[in-house]
A = this chain, B = another copy of it.
């Protein structure tokens, strides 16, 4: 007997028919003798509809009321799945964030889980009851409903799995698992049987949209074994787990890309201490995340050119913040480019293998692809390139690192 958390996203519970299919997947685990907690999202489209209502109601809206409105989506799904399970003879009960309670901080609309009370659920497990838990929502210290931000249901599932000391947290989705690269672009991409937490974290933040970055970080912290698996294909997915669990580890595990970034270059910034703070301070204060940063000393030796990337959605805001701080920073000119893509190769094997970056640069050079910015971490090399070469770069790198399916 194992204890499992199963998480289903909006597409998997889009209508009652699909909820019945979810129930059949739950039934399989129950019949195998497992204790099961299911975490559900809102039915596909519901959250968008509720968010649209809020935006219509008030352009700038109170996050506490926003949370009350949007959390209704998960409430509906959890009740419906409990009904379907009961109709199939499987004892089940729905639980909202406030009932468990799943306690969070008071950052409404982007709350962090601080404590999950598992007493009720463990009691019900003893009675053979399946717990159907509304994802995405919790109870704030003000006794009001909080939500975790978009994609928060993955985080709910992992936090619940950690609190319940579950043997595994299965994230059911519409893909079959984690691939060496996006299979829609790289036809020869392979599904990975296992991937290390660190790699998954880098993949998620590098643009792979399989799992929410936050949920991977939480899984890594609490060593929750997470399986990404398809709701529709009846086969094992990809297990996100400790590096030690992975026997056959390649140097590079996967290649990710993101077209959600834009490049900003500040030309001729005075090369003096504190200048970086004068640039990135105001951006950070306003919540603009900066990703890649490179700095070149200019010919004159007194100024420097500074290039960095921000989320594309933040570009206009970043530019106006920088223009506003132009007097303090003292740059000569600002240029932007939103026709860029970030391509990253990732693998824990890099720690012990040299030459990974060299292979990357060589491969891109052979294809005539110019590199605009480079950043590296212990297990990742990322480059910024012209967006039109994204597909070409991904396929060439996939072959170069020997990832192509036989």
Instruction: Give A contacts to B, CB under 8 Å.
Output: 16, 19, 50, 53-54, 56-62, 64-69, 71-73, 75-76, 78-80, 82-84, 86-87, 93-94, 96, 98-99, 143-144
Contact = CB atoms under 8 A, between A and B. Distances in A.
A80 B53 contact: yes
A65 B86 contact: yes
A76 B80 contact: no
Nearest to A82: B65
Contacts of A99: 143-144
B57 A87 contact: yes
A72 B86 CA distance: 20
Contacts of A143: 99
A47 to B, nearest CB: 12
B57 A19 contact: yes
A143 B66 CA distance: 24
Contacts of A86: 58, 61-62, 65
A57 B78 contact: no
22 contacts: A54-B79, A54-B80, A57-B80, A58-B84, A58-B87, A60-B87, A61-B83, A61-B87, A65-B82, A68-B79, A68-B82, A69-B75, A69-B79, A69-B83, A71-B75, A72-B72, A72-B73, A72-B76, A72-B79, A75-B75, A98-B98, A99-B144
Contact of A66 (B62, B83, B84, B144): B83
Given A56-B16, A57-B84, A83-B62, A75 B72 contact: yes
Contacts of A19: 57
A75 B83 contact: no
Nearest to A49: B76
Contact of A75 (B60, B68, B94): B68
A94 B80 contact: no
Give the top 8 A-B pairs by smallest Cβ distance, nearest first. Answer: A58-B87, A69-B79, A68-B79, A72-B72, A57-B83, A16-B56, A58-B83, A65-B79
A54 B94 CA distance: 14
Contact of A82 (B62, B71, B76): B62
Nearest to A143: B99
Given A16-B57, A59-B87, A79 B66 contact: yes
Nearest to A75: B72
B65 A76 contact: no
Nearest to A68: B79
A388 to B, nearest CB: 42
A94 B65 contact: yes
A103 to B, nearest CB: 15
Contacts of A62: 82-83, 86
A96 B96 CA distance: 13
Nearest to A52: B16
Identify the interface centre among A66, A68, A93: most chain B CB within 10 Å of its CB: A68
A76 B53 contact: yes
A99 B144 CA distance: 8
Contacts of A79: 54, 65-69, 72
Nearest to A19: B57
A20 to B, nearest CB: 8
Contacts of A56: 16
A203 to B, nearest CB: 35
